[in-house]
């Protein structure tokens, strides 16, 4: 039984959030520890998450949540490789739902030499999450974390399933499986990668979060990073990716070179602007798999291909493999055209798998069924 005093103290913190009062980082850490350990009733836990996001999280509140997840609900893992370890991901909860570009961009960046350590989830507020699409293509998303480590060493890319009990054995999977609204966990949990990246490209769901999330990444140990929020001409809201449909708000930071902000148009990276409808999600997993493979196999739609190359190019730039985003875009285009990108996916499926033959058979079947985009 939970003591009445503990219930009241937790409830009092919720009331303060409802009253728009901020929590100290240590207080956020202690409250999230209780949530992760399931030490409060479900109603109090849900109310806490909702009140916090409704108030608007501070940097300290998110760092406290991240630290609690790392300390109490994240397995230990080791990269065992030299050089930058890069992650690219979005927080979700954005209003413009798109083709799953972050996963495609990670594969393309890895084909260009980037060491990509991903930490993704199934769709919560979108239609097709990272875990959903890669599982459908044959990747083993429920494999042992040691298999992910091996994939990173041997292939240069690996994915930790953020909703798997093998990765987060405590409360995170329980919480994420029960909610269908955006919360502080969209940021804090997505940053709780078992292998701490040194470099990162992260998309956020609100322009107001671009700089704060960059500061959070710097505070928890990222050496270099970029936080982005993309827009689409003529559309309200935005996307947690660099956009090929309009402006992107960009915040870049490094441990040695300070920080800067800018706005980026596709033309700034040598690309043209596309209508949002051409990269919008279909809401259908099978259709999204076809678009995804089409891009990697060099006969995808021009819009989705440009979208992928822009985000891969920024990943390569942040990881130090390209001198500029434009150079990174050219590298990404070459990786797709040469077949390196689709071959990288094949190798990844073969290595991050408890049943490689089954995974490769699944992937090959989908590749063979592809029809070139019109």
DSSP for 285-319?
HHHHHHHHHHHHTT-S-HHHHHHHHHHHHHHHHHT
Please tell me the distance from the alpha carbon of residue 205 to that of residue 185, in angstroms, as a whole number: 13
Residue 366 lies in a domain: no
Please report, to the nearest 10 degrees, the dihedral formed by the alpha carbons of residues 175, 176, 178, 183 taken in order.
Answer: 90
Please tell me the distance from the alpha carbon of residue 358 to that of residue 374, in angstroms, as a whole number: 31
Q: Are strands 248-254 and 224-230 parallel, antiparallel or unpaired?
A: antiparallel
- Does residue 8 sit in the same domain as residue 99? no
Burial of 324 (0-12, 13-18, 19+ CB in 10 A): middle
Which parts of the chain register pLDDT below 50? Answer: none
- At 115-133, the pLDDT tens digits run 999 998 886 555 678 999 9
Q: What is the CA radius of gyration of the chain?
A: 20
Q: What is the pLDDT of residue 192?
A: 94
Which of 332, 349, 362, 296 has the alpha carbon at shortest distance from 100?
296
Residue 373 lies in a domain: no
- Residue 42, domain CATH: 1.20.970
Instruction: Give the H or E element holding residue 177.
Output: helix 172-178
133 close to 106: Cβ distance less than 8 angstroms: no
**Which domain covers residue 323, as residue numbers?**
86-161+189-360
- Residue 240, domain CATH: 3.40.1030.10
Q: What is the pLDDT of residue 195?
A: 95
Domain total in the chain = 2
- Does residue 52 sit in the same domain as residue 95? no
Residue 352 main-chain phi, psi, to 5 deg: -85, 75
Instruction: Name the pTM for this structure.
Output: 0.94
230 close to 243: Cβ distance less than 8 angstroms: yes
Please report, to the nearest 10 degrees, the dihedral formed by the alpha carbons of residues 299, 239, 273, 260 taken in order.
Answer: -120
Residue 210 main-chain phi, psi, to 5 deg: -60, -55
- Does residue 47 sit in the same domain as residue 107? no
Q: Facing residues of 229 across strands?
A: 249
Instruction: Give the H or E element holding residue 120.
Output: strand 116-120
- Does residue 264 sit in the same domain as residue 147? yes
Helices (H), 112-162: 130-136, 145-155
Q: What is the pLDDT of residue 19?
A: 98
- Does residue 122 sit in the same domain as residue 34? no
End-to-end CA distance of the chain: 62
Residue 66 lies in a domain: no
């Amino acid at each position: 039984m939970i003591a009445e005093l503990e219930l009241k103290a937790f409830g009092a913190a919720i009331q303060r959030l409802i009253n728009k009062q901020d929590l100290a980082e240590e207080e956020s850490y202690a409250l999230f520890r209780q949530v992760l350990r399931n030490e409060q009733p479900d109603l109090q836990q849900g109310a806490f998450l909702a009140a916090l996001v409704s108030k608007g999280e501070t940097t300290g509140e998110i760092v406290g949540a991240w630290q609690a997840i790392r300390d109490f609900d994240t397995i230990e893992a080791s990269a065992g490789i030299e050089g930058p370890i890069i992650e690219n991901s979005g927080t979700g909860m954005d209003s413009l739902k798109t083709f799953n570009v972050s996963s495609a961009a990670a594969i393309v960046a890895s084909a260009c030499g980037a060491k990509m350590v991903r930490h993704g989830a199934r769709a919560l507020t979108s239609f097709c999450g990272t875990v959903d699409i890669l599982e459908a293509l044959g990747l083993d998303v429920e494999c042992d974390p040691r298999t992910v480590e091996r994939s990173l060493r041997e292939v240069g890319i690996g994915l930790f399933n953020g909703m798997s009990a093998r990765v987060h054995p405590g409360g995170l999977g329980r919480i994420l499986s029960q909610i269908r609204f955006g919360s502080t966990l969209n940021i804090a949990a997505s940053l709780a990668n078992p292998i701490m990246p040194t470099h990162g490209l992260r998309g956020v769901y609100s322009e107001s979060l671009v700089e704060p999330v960059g500061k959070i990444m710097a505070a928890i140990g990222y050496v270099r990073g970029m936080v982005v929020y993309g827009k689409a001409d003529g559309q309200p809201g935005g996307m947690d990716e660099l956009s090929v449909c309009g402006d992107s708000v960009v915040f870049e930071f490094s441990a040695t070179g300070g920080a800067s902000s800018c706005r980026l148009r596709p033309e700034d990276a040598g690309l043209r602007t596309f209508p949002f409808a051409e990269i919008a999600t279909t809401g259908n997993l099978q259709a999204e798999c076809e678009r995804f493979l089409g891009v990697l196999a060099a006969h995808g739609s021009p819009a989705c291909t440009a979208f992928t190359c822009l985000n891969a190019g920024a990943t390569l730039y942040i990881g130090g493999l390209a001198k500029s985003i434009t150079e990174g875009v050219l590298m990404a285009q070459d990786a797709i055209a040469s077949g390196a990108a689709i071959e990288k996916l094949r190798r990844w499926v073969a290595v991050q798998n408890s049943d490689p033959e089954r995974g490769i058979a699944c992937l090959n079947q989908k590749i063979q069924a592809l029809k070139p985009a019109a």
